[in-house]
A and B are shown apart, each in its own frame.
Chain A
Amino acid sequence: MYVAVKGGEKAIDAAHALLKHVRRGDTSIADLSVAQIREQLALAVDRVMGEGSLFDPDLAALAIKQARGDLIEAAFLVRAFRTTLPRFGASEPIDTADMEIERRISATFKDLPGGQVLGPTFDYTHRLIDFLLEAGVAPPAPPQAPVPVQAASPRVTDLLAGDDLIEQSPVGAPGQDVGDLTRDPLNFPAGRDLRLQNLARGDEGFLLALGYSTQRGYGRTHPFAGEIRFGSVELELFVEDLGFDVPLGDIDVTECQMINQFKGSHSEAPRFTRGYGLVFGQAERKAMAMALVDRALRARELGEIPEGNQAAPAQDEEFVLSHSDNIQSTGFVEHLKLPHYVDFQAELVLLRRLQAERAAQQSGQDASVQPVREAAE
């Protein structure tokens, strides 16, 4: 009974109590610990950290438990926590070339300094349900790498840049503030810092679909997966009082660098262009999609949209950046559950009036002489 939204205070309490009960499920089944989620649902934890925009595996695992496995709800919990945290400063840029690599592949070179490191991946597995897992068979011991992973694996794009085959990365501007879209409203056109921030916390499914659309011709960018790497990097903070960088700890990130179609002009030699993706944790699909969309969003900058032509969805900055955030999307879509009966009533009144006028006209009366008054008047 929808009228029950009136006097809803007790109903809300009861609903929330029921939710807590249902969340736990059958109490004869062992309770799931946060540590179990963190260790065994690690990719869900990574996704929640990425879209929740906060690197904290324990908090993300707790959020997943509280949200009953609804990852967008979990990311929302993490976001609402994150927003209350004080900002001490911005870390120094992480150096992914210095990453402690767990996985590193390039689709553009058969072999390269540092080698191809498959690491833990679903790639090349046969997607057959593993019933042994249900039986609780212990996993095999981790295989040892035949040769130790080289400490320094230069980025593929740096190798290409050394030969001037790819555009240079924009030069860093030390001392210049990096935008923060959680602290300033996003305006268009957005700088690349804000664009990358937006994409890094954007919804994986949304970016995946947009990236896919560029592969199917809606803003094609001819991408090659130059490199995907996953591992841990050290975070450092420059402390003014001390005058040097202080290590804060390690975070896991996945980085994807797409190498895209080249273009030249009278003044410039043709070079490959870049699309960039960087996400917390192991989130390869998201990092790749992000790199595709980042590159697609450079279409105007690179003069790829002919004058008078409409941009493809993935090339349309305002469209992409305004709709990538799943916390915003889910909030607004789901707000349709809230009562709207005041506005609906206003529509009902008008609709009845229009129908009455139409009926009056059809029955031969002259509605303009004898205007039908509003319904129920």
Chain B
Amino acid sequence: MSITYNFAYLDEQTKRMIRRAILKAIAIPGYQVPFASREMPMPYGWGTGGVQVTAAILGPQDVLKVIDQGADDTTNAVSIRRFFETTAGVRTTTHTGEATVIQTRHRIPELTLQAGQTLVYQVPIPEPLRFLEPRETETRTLHALADYGLMHVKLYEDIAHHGHIATTYAYPVTVAGRYVMDPSPIPKFDNPKMHNSAALQLFGAGREKRIYAIPPYTTVVPLDFEDHPFEPTRFGQPCDLCASTTSYLDEVVLDDRGKRMFVCSDTDHCEERRSAGHRGRLLGSAPEALGVGPRS
């Protein structure tokens, strides 16, 4: 049995259906558009929504970058990048600046995205109100009425219990002053990057069959209170490899006696800085698995 698949795997009718959903999503920023999500040859929850969005917008001229946890070489990013190398034959890159389409899970690249670039997010649970109200029929009504009291009560209760809003990732935002949206499980550190971004941001949830979007130059405001304003997570130390003080850091456990090192989660950002001559505290002694070597 020999099967040949269409460019970027999906058939053209399916791509058209997904593009219509994307256009609607762009027209109503932050609104979750139901779409007829297909079964993909990778498991639900592993990026099928993002993969379908990418497949629908990808053209032969595009340059694709795929990251997971900010890194190009995490297993699932490798798997998805390969999927498009095989099915679409497009050029792929690890350089953020070079990519026209970036599919991501859990991060926004540190490098500011430019007009003409599209960031495609993989979304597990698109509904920001889901853990407050499990029923889709209810949450759709709440969105229709812009009734987001539940969410504010939740954030208030966090402050009452912990003194802080205890949501550190998937931090809800208001898009274009109307819909409350789940930014996917990116750390709240990344939330400010969504605001007025020059890039188009598309969100695909395959299992839940929803697509939503933030068009370029759209206001994206994290929910907060006047006396408890939104605060992005800050790291009080630089990356141990490239000395960046502004990037999101992963913690790497070095031994069982509490020794840790902190490294950029965005591997491209870290590499670019190192090749520009920046050196972190532990650059010479990093574990081999971090793959810190001369740039290929």
- B107: A residues at CB distance < 8 A: 342
For the complex, is B97 an interface residue (Cβ under 8 Å from A)? no
**Contact present for B250 and A341 (CB under 8 Å):** yes
Q: Which chain A residue lies CB-closest to B81?
A: A9
For the complex, is A185 an interface residue (Cβ under 8 Å from B)? yes
Q: Which chain B residue lies CB-closest to A83?
A: B39
Which label, helix, strand, loop or mixed, suits the secondary structure of the A interface?
helix
**Contact present for B236 and A376 (CB under 8 Å):** yes
**Contact present for B69 and A346 (CB under 8 Å):** no
**Contact present for A332 and B45 (CB under 8 Å):** yes
Q: Which of B75, B185, B189 contacts A11 (CB 8 A)?
A: B75
Also in contact, A185 and B43, with CB within 8 A (given A6-B290, A9-B73, A343-B168): no
For the complex, is B30 an interface residue (Cβ under 8 Å from A)? no
**Contact present for A332 and B252 (CB under 8 Å):** no
- A8: B residues at CB distance < 8 A: 73-75, 78
- A335: B residues at CB distance < 8 A: 43-46, 124
- B185: A residues at CB distance < 8 A: 340, 342-343
Output the least CB separation between B265 and chain A (Å): 6
**Contact present for B187 and A7 (CB under 8 Å):** no
- A353: B residues at CB distance < 8 A: 164
Q: Enumerate A81-96 residues with CB–CB distance to B below 8 Å.
A: 82-84, 86
For the complex, is A241 an interface residue (Cβ under 8 Å from B)? no
CA distance A331 to B250 in the complex (A): 26
**Contact present for A80 and B39 (CB under 8 Å):** yes
Q: Enumerate A165-218 residues with CB–CB distance to B below 8 Å.
A: 182-189
For the complex, is A339 an interface residue (Cβ under 8 Å from B)? yes
- A304: B residues at CB distance < 8 A: none
How many chain B residues touch A (CB < 8 A): the figure is 66
CA distance A183 to B137 in the complex (A): 20
CA distance A349 to B36 in the complex (A): 39
For the complex, is A112 an interface residue (Cβ under 8 Å from B)? no
CA distance A309 to B296 in the complex (A): 65
**Contact present for A342 and B74 (CB under 8 Å):** no
Also in contact, A374 and B236, with CB within 8 A (given A318-B136, A331-B44): yes
Output the least CB separation between B269 and chain A (Å): 14
Also in contact, A343 and B169, with CB within 8 A (given A6-B73, A184-B36, A332-B207): yes
Q: Which of A5, A318, A327, A348 contacts B251 (CB 8 A)?
A: A348
Q: Which of A11, A76, A187, A331 contacts B45 (CB 8 A)?
A: A331
Output the least CB separation between B222 and chain A (Å): 14
- A86: B residues at CB distance < 8 A: 11
CA distance A330 to B189 in the complex (A): 30
**Contact present for A373 and B236 (CB under 8 Å):** yes
Q: Mark A315-343, 1 if CB is under 8 A from B, else 0.
A: 00010001000011011111100111111
For the complex, is B68 an interface residue (Cβ under 8 Å from A)? yes
Output the least CB separation between B209 and chain A (Å): 4
CA distance A338 to B34 in the complex (A): 26
CA distance A339 to B36 in the complex (A): 28
Q: Mark A60-88, 1 if CB is under 8 A from B, else 0.
A: 00000000000000001001101110100
CA distance A374 to B249 in the complex (A): 14
Output the least CB separation between B146 and chain A (Å): 21
Q: Mark A271-285, 1 if CB is under 8 A from B, else 0.
A: 000000000000000
Output the least CB separation between A154 and chain B (Å): 38
Q: Which chain B residue lies CB-closest to A371?
A: B163
Output the least CB separation between B84 and chain A (Å): 15
CA distance A354 to B250 in the complex (A): 19
CA distance A83 to B40 in the complex (A): 7
Q: Mark A2-19, 1 if CB is under 8 A from B, else 0.
A: 011111110110000000
Q: Which chain A residue lies CB-closest to B170?
A: A343
**Contact present for A7 and B289 (CB under 8 Å):** yes
For the complex, is A255 an interface residue (Cβ under 8 Å from B)? no
Output the least CB separation between A365 and chain B (Å): 14
- A334: B residues at CB distance < 8 A: 43, 45
Most buried by B among A86, A345, A373: A345
Q: Which of B39, B135, B251, B290 contacts A79 (CB 8 A)?
A: B39
Q: Which of B45, B75, B106, B162 contacts A354 (CB 8 A)?
A: B162
Q: What are 10 residue pairs bridging A and B, where the CB atoms are less than 8 Å apart in the complex?
A: A80-B39, A82-B39, A187-B34, A332-B45, A333-B45, A339-B74, A342-B185, A343-B185, A347-B168, A374-B233
Q: Which residues of A contact B (CB under 8 A)?
A: 1, 3-9, 11-12, 76, 79-80, 82-84, 86, 182-189, 318, 322, 327-328, 330-335, 338-343, 345-350, 353-354, 357, 373-377
Q: Which residues of B contact A (CB under 8 A)?
A: 3, 5, 9, 11, 34-41, 43-46, 48, 68-71, 73-76, 78-79, 105-107, 124, 135-137, 162-164, 166, 168-170, 185-189, 207, 209-210, 233-237, 248-252, 262, 265, 267, 287, 289-291
